[in-house]
Amino acid sequence: MCWNLEVSITFSIIELVAIVFLWYRNYSIRDRVYSFFFLLVFFIEFSEIFLWITIPESGEFEGKCPSANVFFTSVTYFVAWMQPLGINLYCLFTTTKKQDKSKFYLSVSLASFDYVMHVISYFVRWGEVGSQQNCSVTYGKNDNLTWKWQYIKAWYYPNTYNYFVLSVIPFLFYRPWRAMINFAFPYLTTLLVTYFVFDTTVFPSTWCWTALMILIFFVLDPWTVERDTFKSCFVKKDNKKQKAITESSFSEEDQINLSSSHQDDETDPRSSHSKEESD
């Protein structure tokens, strides 16, 4: 989460610009897939703008919450729990082509099942706690936004550790290793820090900042991953280009050699003598 309204607006704009840039740059399929995945992060921070506007002041929450706040808190619920599935799909579509992608099918299936369980929990719990219990308030440990997601307590869903586990599994099979480390290390580090170092009920501002850093990293330094992960995508292009250059070079050399050979034949006395004898 971002730590105030102004930061939420600023980071949302920066992330949207970066996402659009990645989409239109389209350096490889990875740009498109990553921009799609990061929309799940952008929508969280964008929704927080409206949560900051409609949030009850600290100490004023008494079971009532503005309808707009309830709506955008629900949006963050659906989008946030979709992120493990987004990570699994990202790994499935961008891993090295030689990698056996069937290894990802189980984790994708588990992430899909996990998300369906969250959706079921949402609607089942709605009738039990009422919509007004689904609210974002500011009286967390660090005065950050606190999402009051009562629906995760439904019997259909065990606990929130699934988010972390399902986010880790696909990286165990992801290749190349450098690409896995570049993406997974800052992401998983953020999850660990926000969960074990800070209050578990308050996702502090470190997530907002780290999420932006991950996005900027891929915008500014794509070659740290691209040259290995998608090397096969460019080999054909490079070979065609090299072949064209080689053929062009050979063509020029052949012309020079032929021209030189023709001139040598004309100036060589032995060639002239042989020609006279033949006559």
**222 phi and psi angles, rounded to 5 deg:** -70, -25
The pLDDT, as a whole number, for residue 235 is: 45
CA distance 223 to 203: 32
Are 265 and 271 in contact by the 8 Å Cβ rule? The answer is yes
The pLDDT, as a whole number, for residue 230 is: 44
Question: Which 3 state secondary structure label does DSSP give 12?
Answer: helix
Q: Quote the Cα angle for 48-50-52, to 5°.
A: 70
In sequence order, what are the residues at sequence separation of 6 or more whose Cβ sits closer than 8 angstroms to the Cβ of residue 207?
1, 190, 194
Beta bridge partners of 147: 136
CA distance 221 to 175: 18
Residue 147 is inside which H or E element, if any?
Answer: strand 146-147
Beta bridge partners of 136: 147
Angle between helices 29-54 and 83-94 (to 10 degrees): 170
What burial letters (b/e) apply to 181-206, b meaning 16+ CB within 10 Å?
ebbbeebeebbeebeeebeeebbbbb
Sites in the chain below the pLDDT cut of 70: 1, 56-64, 97, 99, 125-134, 137-144, 149-160, 179-180, 182-184, 186-188, 190-191, 193-195, 197-207, 210, 221-279
Largest CA distance in the chain: 118
Q: DSSP alpha helices (H): ranges in the chain? A: 5-25, 29-54, 67-80, 83-94, 102-129, 161-168, 177-192, 206-220, 223-229, 231-267, 269-278
Tell the residue number behind the tokens 């990698």, with chain if given: 99
Residue 157's closest CA among 200, 183, 124?
Answer: 124
The pLDDT, as a whole number, for residue 233 is: 41
In sequence order, what are the residues at sequence separation of 6 or more whose Cβ sits closer than 8 angstroms to the Cβ of residue 42?
12, 15, 16, 19
What residue type is 247 in one-letter code?
E
The pLDDT, as a whole number, for residue 85 is: 92
Question: Which 3 state secondary structure label does DSSP give 144?
Answer: coil
Count other Cβ atoms within 10 Å, centred on residue 223. Answer: 9
- Please confirm whether the linkage preceding 176 is cis (ω < 30° from 0): yes
- The first and second tokens of residue 16, run together, are 């949207």
CA distance 34 to 15: 12
